[in-house]
Each structure stands twice: as structure tokens, then as C-alpha cells.
């Protein structure tokens, strides 16, 4: 049984939406432990190195009783909304943690040792604090007078931008959203983008062609027929011979045939039919591209949906009985994106093809009507033949 490509693509989109809803409706506790633990440990700074834990999950302390930080830890890179950024395989993008700055300005505290905050609840820091400069052995560096060399503290947040990976620095570029779209959709999105460019190009070229040759302009036909009836074939031919309109060229072929005594009506009609078909072929040239894109774009979108769902199920098989939305997000995103992109390309292509093809059909009808009026003009001739 035949299926409409648009209905197939819509059906695939509904299936993908249902699957996505069922996956993300699961308990958020199924997110990867690494992401959850890292978020809890870093607090306000998601890139800070976490505390090193022993086998029992207790913090490891140094000789001074201070927690030891895991300076080799890697943490998931987060977007602006605090969600983990995943790669093409649906895995969280890991980046090196940021070690604490020994010169970081300390927080201001009250008499009881509690941190002071401003009206917005933000911690206040002592920006005028100074710390002694330390050498490679963590010993204070002394000046000529034997006094420690003091350094100004570092305000909180300063220098973090330099520690971020290059990928994060490109987040503000103009082309980043488009690149992310192409990267998330995979090769199917690239193909659909090329097809979209073809749709726009073909539609513009045909529109310019139709306007240039005057497709849809038929007012001259009545005037040319009146000239043919009143002044004869030569005057009517001179009136329309300079026009580029397809109808005018068919009329000119009919008039030339009627003025040639060596050609009977059968031969003239055959020549007029040939000229008309040649004009229609020129008008229809390129429209098959729009028709083909309107047909295959939804199918390509559906193919991307199927590939995305296959990838999602492969991720489910990899993680076993723990379905992690962060891992499946890549496949589901690709599935939904390609379906929407396929329909976005197919709809303008179908509309453009229908409108342009209808214009060609109407032009063909007027060609036939104009040629018939040329052949029947002698029946209504009102003036002398010239």
C-alpha cells in the first residue's frame, strides 16, 4: 500500500516524541554518578577541583588536617543552564578541574566567624588582603631587609576564563548555533541544508525567468488578434515579433504559417504544436528538481530519525539497566531535528513546485487559445488583407 512521504515523516516524529517523553520522565537520580557528585562538590564553582576521597568515601586530610584536593580530576563541562554538554556519542564532555588559587581573597567574616553577605546574598571578600610570596619549597620569599614579599590577593573569578577550553571561548560567535545544529543533526542535516539551498536557488531562478519573459501577461493577445482582423497578418506579426512571451512566439509561428501559401493548415498546426511544446519545455526546465526535493526531503528526515533512534537504543544497550537521559540526548536530538528539518525543506519545495507548475499549465492553455484565435481570425476579418 502506498504511503505519502509527509505522513511517514510525521509518524516518525510522533514516535520519536513519545520515546523522548518516556525516557526523560524517569527519575533524575539515574544521571551519571560523576556528574552528580561533581555538581555537589564544586558548589558555586562547577570547575573547582573536588576533595580527594578514600576507599570508604571519606575526605583525605593532609598533615595540617585540611582536605586534600584531587587536582587531576576531570569534570563535565556545563552550558549556560548548568546542564552537561555531550559529544557526538552522547558522552559528557570532560574538562580539567581548576585548582584553587593560593592567593584568592578570603571571605569577610563577622565576630563569630560567619561569612558576610551583601543584599543579594553574595559572599563578601577582603579585596585588600595580601599574602606572602612563596618559593618552590613553599617558603616565604624575603626582600633585602628580610621581610616577606607580600602579594595582593586575587579577586574571586579572576583568571577562570583563561582556564576554560577553547571550545568554550567560541560559544559567543555568530556561526556557533548553526555549527551546533549541523553537528547535532549529523550528515543528514548537511544533506538537507544543501537541498534547502537548491530549493531557494531553483525557485529564484525560475521566478526571475518568468518575470523576464512575461509569463502571465496575456493582454497583448486581444490587441494582436484585432490587428490581425483589421490590418492583416503582416501588421499583427510586426506587433508581436519583438515580444519574449511564450504565447507571443506561438502566435508568431501560427501567423507565419498562415502567410506561407506552400503550407496547408495541417502542417501549420504541427509547426505551432512543436513551437508550443518547445516553449513549455523551457518553462518546466528545473521544476523536476523542486518536485524531487519535495519528495525525498521528508524521507531523508525520516531516515535521520531512524538513525537517531538506533543510536539511542545502542546507548541504552551500553549502559545496561540504567537509562541515562544525558547519554540518550544526542540520539533523540538528532532524531527529532532531522524530521523537523526534512519537513522544513519539503514544504517550501512543494509549494514552489505547485505554484510554478500551475503557472506553466496556465501559459500552455493561453498558447492553445491564442493559436486557435489566429486560425479562426479569417472568419471574423473586418478589414482588407495586407
Query: Grid coordinates 577562570 are at which residue?
Result: 160
User: What pLDDT, on a 0 to 100 scale, did the predictor assign at position 211?
Assistant: 92
Task: Kindly give the residue spans of alpha helices, DSSP state H, lying in the chain.
Answer: 5-24, 33-42, 160-163, 166-169, 176-185, 187-213, 219-231, 233-240, 246-259, 265-284, 287-319, 325-376
Q: What digits encode the pLDDT tens for the residues 32-84? A: 343 334 333 333 455 677 777 888 878 777 776 667 777 777 878 877 777 78
Say if residue 184 is in the same domain as residue 129.
Answer: no
User: What pLDDT, on a 0 to 100 scale, did the predictor assign at position 23?
Assistant: 39
**In terms of residue numbers, what domain contains 141?**
102-153
User: What pLDDT, on a 0 to 100 scale, did the predictor assign at position 45?
Assistant: 54
Backbone angles phi, psi at 9, to 5 degrees: -65, -40
Say if residue 299 is in the same domain as residue 240.
Answer: yes
Query: Grid coordinates 502566435 are at which residue?
Result: 251
Say if residue 207 is in the same domain as residue 314.
Answer: yes
Q: Which residues, in sequence order, are CB contacts of 263 under 8 Å at separation 6+?
A: 257, 271
Say if residue 127 is in the same domain as residue 200.
Answer: no
Say if residue 198 is in the same domain as residue 345.
Answer: yes
Beta bridge partners of 115: 109
User: What pLDDT, on a 0 to 100 scale, did the predictor assign at position 42?
Assistant: 34
Say if residue 216 is in the same domain as residue 326.
Answer: yes
Residues present in the chain in total: 386
Residue 135 lies in a domain: yes
The Cα–Cα gap between 303 and 339 comes to 8
Residue 49 lies in a domain: no
Say if residue 291 is in the same domain as residue 353.
Answer: yes
Say if residue 203 is in the same domain as residue 296.
Answer: yes
Say if residue 187 is in the same domain as residue 121.
Answer: no
Say if residue 291 is in the same domain as residue 381.
Answer: yes
Residue 64 lies in a domain: no
- The domain tally of the chain equals 2
* pLDDT < 70 regions, the chain: 1-47, 64-66, 99-103, 156-185, 319-331, 334, 378-386
User: What pLDDT, on a 0 to 100 scale, did the predictor assign at position 118?
Assistant: 83
Residue 141 lies in a domain: yes
Calculate the alpha carbon distances from 104 to 86, 110, 136, 253, 288 in Å.
31, 19, 19, 90, 67
Say if residue 277 is in the same domain as residue 182.
Answer: yes
Say if residue 366 is in the same domain as residue 243.
Answer: yes
**Does the pTM of the predicted model rise above 0.95?**
no
**Cβ contact 257:272 at 8 Å:** yes
Residue 61 lies in a domain: no
User: What pLDDT, on a 0 to 100 scale, did the predictor assign at position 84?
Assistant: 80
Amino acid at each position: 500500500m502506498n504511503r505519502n512521504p509527509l505522513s511517514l515523516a510525521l509518524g516518525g516524529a510522533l514516535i520519536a516524541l513519545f520515546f523522548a517523553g518516556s525516557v526523560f520522565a524517569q527519575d533524575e537520580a539515574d544521571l551519571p554518578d560523576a556528574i552528580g557528585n561533581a555538581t555537589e562538590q564544586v558548589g558555586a564553582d562547577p570547575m573547582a577541583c573536588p576533595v580527594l576521597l578514600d576507599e570508604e568515601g571519606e575526605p583525605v586530610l593532609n598533615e595540617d588536617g585540611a582536605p586534600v584536593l584531587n587536582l587531576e580530576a576531570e569534570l563535565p563541562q556545563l552550558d549556560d543552564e548548568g546542564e552537561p554538554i555531550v559529544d557526538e556519542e552522547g558522552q559528557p564532555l570532560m574538562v580539567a578541574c581548576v585548582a584553587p588559587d593560593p592567593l584568592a581573597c578570603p571571605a569577610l567574616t563577622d565576630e563569630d566567624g560567619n561569612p558576610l553577605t551583601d543584599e543579594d546574598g553574595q559572599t563578601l571578600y577582603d579585596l585588600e588582603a595580601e599574602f606572602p610570596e612563596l618559593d618552590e619549597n613553599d617558603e616565604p620569599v624575603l626582600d633585602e631587609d628580610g621581610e616577606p614579599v607580600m602579594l595582593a590577593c586575587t579577586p574571586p573569578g579572576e583568571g577562570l576564563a583563561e582556564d576554560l577550553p577553547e571550545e568554550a571561548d567560541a560559544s559567543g560567535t555568530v556561526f556557533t548555533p548553526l555549527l551546533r545544529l549541523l553537528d547535532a543533526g549529523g550528515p543528514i542535516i548537511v544533506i538537507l541544508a544543501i537541498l534547502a539551498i537548491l530549493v531557494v536557488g531553483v525557485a529564484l531562478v525560475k521566478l526571475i525567468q518568468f518575470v523576464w519573459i512575461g509569463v502571465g501577461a496575456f493582454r497583448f493577445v486581444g490587441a494582436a488578434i484585432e490587428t490581425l482582423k483589421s490590418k492583416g497578418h503582416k501588421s499583427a506579426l510586426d506587433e508581436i515579433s519583438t515580444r519574449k512571451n511564450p504565447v507571443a512566439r506561438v502566435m508568431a509561428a501560427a501567423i507565419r504559417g498562415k502567410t506561407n501559401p506552400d503550407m496547408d493548415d495541417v502542417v501549420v498546426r504541427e509547426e505551432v504544436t512543436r513551437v508550443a511544446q518547445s516553449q513549455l519545455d523551457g518553462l518546466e526546465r528545473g521544476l523536476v528538481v523542486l518536485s524531487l526535493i519535495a519528495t525525498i526531503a521528508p524521507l531523508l528526515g525520516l531516515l535521520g530519525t531512524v538513525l537517531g533512534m538506533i543510536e539511542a537504543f545502542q546507548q541504552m544497550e551500553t549502559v545496561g539497566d540504567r537509562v541515562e537521559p544525558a547519554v540518550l540526548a544526542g540520539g533523540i536530538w538528532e532524531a527529532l531535528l532531522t524530521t523537523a528539518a526534512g519537513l522544513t525543506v519539503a514544504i517550501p519545495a512543494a509549494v514552489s513546485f505547485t505554484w510554478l507548475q500551475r503557472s506553466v499549465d496556465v501559459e500552455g492553455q493561453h498558447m492553445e487559445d491564442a493559436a486557435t484565435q489566429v486560425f479562426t481570425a479569417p472568419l471574423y476579418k473586418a478589414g482588407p488583407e495586407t
